[in-house]
Amino acid sequence: MPKAKASSSKNLVIVESPAKAKTIRKYLGSDFDVLASYGHVRDLLAKEGAVEPDNHFLMHYQAVEKNQKHIAAIIAAMKKADTLYLATDPDREGEAISWHVRELLNEKKTLKNKNVFRIVFHEITKSAVQAAIDKPRDISMSLVNAQQARRALDFLVGFNLSPLLWRKIRRGLSAGRVQSPALRMIVEREEEIEKIRFTGILGYGGRGYRQRAAFYGKTDPVQG
C-alpha cells in the first residue's frame, strides 16, 4: 500500500468526538479539516428483517437519525477534500464506524478518485497523530466483521426477547447477547440444584490417642 502524504490539497480527518476533533485540528494545521462522527453514523433498521440469518446474515443499515446534521457536514466536507483519513477509535467499534463512514460516503458518490486511509493512535499528542498520518493502513474487515457479528446477535436476541420483558416486567428493559445466555445458565443451574435429594450422611470413624492410650470412635449415619 502506498504511503499517504499530506499535500497542499484539502485532507479530511474523521474522529468520533468533537473534543478530540478540536485538539487534532490544532496539531495538523490548515491543510486538514477535522470533523467528528459523534459515534456511529449508521445502524440496523429498527424492524424485523434487518438481519437475515438465512441469507448469509445480510444486514440492512440506515443512517442514525440523531446524527444527520453531522453526517451532512462530513459529506459536504468530503466533496471539497482529496484525501480521507478515518481516525476513529482503535477498537472494533471504531473500526466499524470508519467502515460505515466510508460506505455512507460511497453511497453519496463523494469518494470517486480520492484516497481513503485508516489511521490509529493511542494518545492525543502531536507526535502520535503525525506518526499515524505517516503510517496509514486499510480498514480491517476482521474487526468490522467482529463488530457486525456482535451487533447481529444483539439484534436477533434482543428483538425477540426485549418485548417479552416489556410485557412481563416493565418497558425499557433489554435482553442482549450476554444477559440472555447468562440468565439461562443461572436457571439451569438452579434446576439442577433443586433435583438434589439428600438421603443420608455417612458415618465417620477414626483412631485417636489420649494420655498415651489408644481409642477408637465413630458416628452413626444420620438420615436426611
Q: Which of 34-38, 43-47, 131-135, 214-218 has the lowest mean pLDDT?
A: 214-218
Q: Which of 77-81, 138-142, 212-216 has the lowest mean pLDDT?
A: 212-216
CA atoms within 13 A on the CB side of 119: 27
Q: What is the pLDDT of residues 205-217, one digit of tens each?
A: 566 555 656 555 5
Q: What is the pLDDT of residues 90-110, one digit of tens each?
A: 999 999 999 999 999 999 999
Q: Residue 192: left if φ>0, alpha if ψ -120 to 50, beta else—which one? A: alpha
Backbone angles phi, psi at 121, to 5 degrees: -150, 155
Task: Confirm if 97 and 63 have CB atoms less than 8 A apart.
Answer: no
**CA dist., res. 7 & res. 116, Å (int):** 14
Backbone angles phi, psi at 209, to 5 degrees: -135, 140
Residue 203 has pLDDT above 80, yes or no: no
